[in-house]
Structures are given as structure tokens and as C-alpha cells.
Chain A
Amino acid sequence: MAQQKTVSENKKIEEKKEESPMFDLGSLASTLQKELKVGRGDQTQSSISEEEFESRYFRTLIPGFDKLLKHGIPKGSNILLAGSTGAGKTIFALQLLMNHAKQGKKCLFISFEESKEKLITHMKDFGWGPESAIKSGNLKIKRYLTSDIYYKEERESDGVQAMMAKNSDHLMLDLEPFVIGDDGYKPDITVIDSLTAVASTFEGKEKSYRFYLERLFRFFENLGGTTFLITEPIDSPISAYYTGTEKYLSDGIIEFYNAKRRNIRESAIEVLKMRGEKHEKKIVAMNIGDEGIVVHPNQEVFSEIES
């Protein structure tokens, strides 16, 4: 009986062996190694028609990210990209601009920080080939100095309300001709890098900055495109991110984290707020690889994230 059982078990084992086809594990290893860098290229499954989607929403086309949203980012929104230095905000913004510029959308990057040349070099380093998008005019990069948005002392003496009524703020005057353009250029997507740099010009004038921000948000709202505003938490009373003005004014907030644990650094991302759209409420893993950002929408991170 015992022998019969053994024979029967052996038969089962033989059957199981036959069930396992040979697998090209070398090829799988190489695919997985690549996936850690470039993602799986999954697309969001939206429950609405593509036409309706196109009229109402916007995909970042950043691998994995769009899966954090039920449909996409509502068009015309002002979205904050918030997080500490080196967390991936600028790369995220450049990557989504490149993705859309390649699809024929008009994309504008306004930098108060890095030079145009440096930004183009970053894009080239990731292999995104920005040259043709720039040549076609679909991607425009404009650098401003923070001194371009100086705030005259004499104007402050008018009082903030008077300044608002005058509608003559320097940033507005500088931005309008560039953003809209003589040739009718009107961006579908605009990125401002960064509000932190803008805020630094208002040091000691918190109220003015708050009103200034309101006008800035309204300006982009009226343009009708989707705007991404990069911001960093800084240890200063002007840091509107923490005082809540930026949070309050924006339609959405995407938070970037850069956690360090022992010898490793982990990047993570979270959709903290997205008006008019359902989104995942969790912090998920993000990787900044050789070809740009990859978000892993189903993978939690194991480092302790402090927000």
C-alpha cells in the first residue's frame, strides 16, 4: 500500500514537471532589469470615451503615473509639483512637456532657476531628443531671472489692494507677451519652475506674495491651458506652501519624496489633491532612471516618508 502511494505520488510529480514549460529566464531577467528603469508602459483604463476624455482630461504619459488617477488630470487645472530638492519635480515636468510636445501640443517651460541650455542638456541626457520639438515651436523654454519680477518699494506704499486694482504687476507684464505671443502662440501646458524662486523676491512681504499668487493663478486659469507650478518647502515665513496659500489656490498637488535610509535613497510620489478627479490616496515608489521617471503605482515604499 505504502509502495502504491509512493508510485502515485511520483506520477503526480512527473505530471507537475510536465506542466512547467521551459522559460527563457535570461530574457525575463533582462526585461525586469529594464522595467525597473523604464516601467511597464501600462496605460490608464478610463471608464469614459476617448472623445470625452480628450475634452476633459489630460494624461502625463509618464510611465505608471496616470494609473494613480481615475481618468487623468482635469484640463485647465493649476497643479503644484511639490517636494524637496532632488526629489524629481523638474524632471517630471520636463518629461511630461516632452511627451506632449512630441504629440504636437504647445508646451512652455518658464524657468527662474536653471538656464535653458542646462534644461536642454538634461533632456538630452535622458535621450528625449528635445531638438525637433524646440525647432517646431511645440516646446518653448524661457528663462527669467528673479530680478525680472522685482517688486518696487514705492508700489508697496500704494498698498496691496491698490496694487491689485492697478493690474500692473511686473510679472504679468513680462509674461503675457511671451506666453500668448504675437504669433498667437498659446500654450496647452505651462510649467513654472519655481514658485519658490518667485517667493524669494517677496521676502518680508507675505501679504503681497499671497495676492501676487492669486493673480498668477488667475492669469493661467484664464489662459485655459493646464499649468504645473513647481514649489519647494523652505524654512521661511514666505514659504506659502506651508502657510497653505499655494495649497489652497491650486487645483491639484502632486508631492514628491526623497527618502534616505542607511545607504540608499528612495524616491516616491503621491497625488495629494486633484479637484474634480478621483485618485489613489497612497504614496508609491518612483524611480528616476536613465530614460526618466517611472512610477510604480502598486508598489509601496519601505523607507519612512516624512511629509
Chain B
Amino acid sequence: MDIEGQLENLSDGTIVLLESQAENSMNASYAALDSLINKQGKIGIIITANRPYANLMSVYQQKGIDVNKILFIDCISKSQGLELGEGGNVLFLDSAEDLTKIALSIDGSISRIQANKFVMVDSLTTLLIHNPPQMLARFMHGVLTKMRMGNTSGVILSIDKQTDNEVRAEVAQLCDRVVKL
């Protein structure tokens, strides 16, 4: 299925659960970012539990994504003891297990960015490695509600058939659309 076709008419505040095969997951995120940032001009808040900020910056730049329009919430670099560096559009959090701080960061970002914006969670499957399903479902419920209140669009990335059924069902029912790639 053509992801750009699925995302190009995304009205403000629409939230999509984007399910892909593991081998296509990076392509799915590139396509989503290309559509939302480069084509629609939105500002992105990316919660990354998969790849560290430095790595994402590099690959996104190679793919021609305007990284100046992305605020990264990096939940992995600190816990892996990676060099954090100074400055940049990034918040380093202690761990992907620290759901409270992730939620606070998303909330703070949504309320401060007054432009058209979206939140991308990369990924639900990885957050499940670090958090119990029920707790993650509660977290996602809170985050998606805050996104709704802030009329913020969203893309929740998930690996098809690798995500806990309960969490998947909870998130899917809160999303406006489920797209399988």
C-alpha cells in the first residue's frame, strides 16, 4: 500500500497506527516523515526508542528529510552510555522505561509548538521491550488523549504481528486509521 497516499490528506489531528514488516519499518518512517515534514510542512516530535538521535539525524539527512523541523525525544542514547553532545533539537531521557518523563516531554512539546505538528512514536514494538503491556497501554492512552486535546496529528509505528495484542488493540481503537504496509 502506498504510504504517501495514506498520509498526504491527513487532516490536522488525525492519528494513524502504521504497521509494517520489520524489514520495511525504516522505509515506513522515511515515507511518513517525507510526507508530513517535507510535503505538508508540519513540525515533528519524534520519540525514538529504536535508534539514537545521532544516527537518526544522519539517516534522515541522507534521505532528504528536513531535520530542522524535528524535535527528537531520545530514549536510548543515555541508557546506552552514548556521547550526547551539546545542543541540537533533542531531549535526552534516561531510558525508554521512564514513561512519566516521556509523557511530560510530549506534553511540554505539544503545548509549546504552536505550528502544525505531529508526534511520531518509534516504535510501539520497542517500547514493549522495555515496559509491561498494561502500563504501556495506559501510557499510550494518556499520550493519545493529550495529542487529541492539542489537535496534534500522530503516527504510531509498530511491527506487524510483533506487538502485544492488548496494546495493539488499545492503540488501534484510539487511532483514526490503521495502515498496514
Contact = CB atoms under 8 A, between A and B. Distances in A.
Size bracket of the B interface: 35 or more
B97 A262 contact: yes
Interface string A12-33: 0100111111110110111111
Contact of A28 (B9, B68, B107, B113): B113
Size bracket of the A interface: 35 or more
- Chain A interface mostly: mixed
Contacts of B95: 263-264
A299 B97 contact: no
B41 A25 contact: no
A17 B41 contact: yes
B39 A32 contact: no
Interface string A282-307: 00010000000000101111111000
A165 B97 CA distance: 57
B89 A25 contact: yes
A302 B142 CA distance: 10
Contacts of A22: 68-69
B91 A25 contact: no
Nearest to B113: A23
B91 A20 contact: no
Given A25-B68, A26-B89, A29-B90, A35 B108 contact: yes
6 contacts: A264-B97, A264-B98, A285-B104, A299-B104, A300-B142, A302-B100
Interface of B: 8-9, 39-43, 68-72, 79, 87-92, 94-95, 97-101, 103-105, 107-109, 112-113, 115-117, 130-131, 135, 138-139, 142
Enumerate the 3 nearest inter-chain pairs by beta-carbon distance, A residue then B residue, closest first: A17-B41, A25-B89, A20-B115
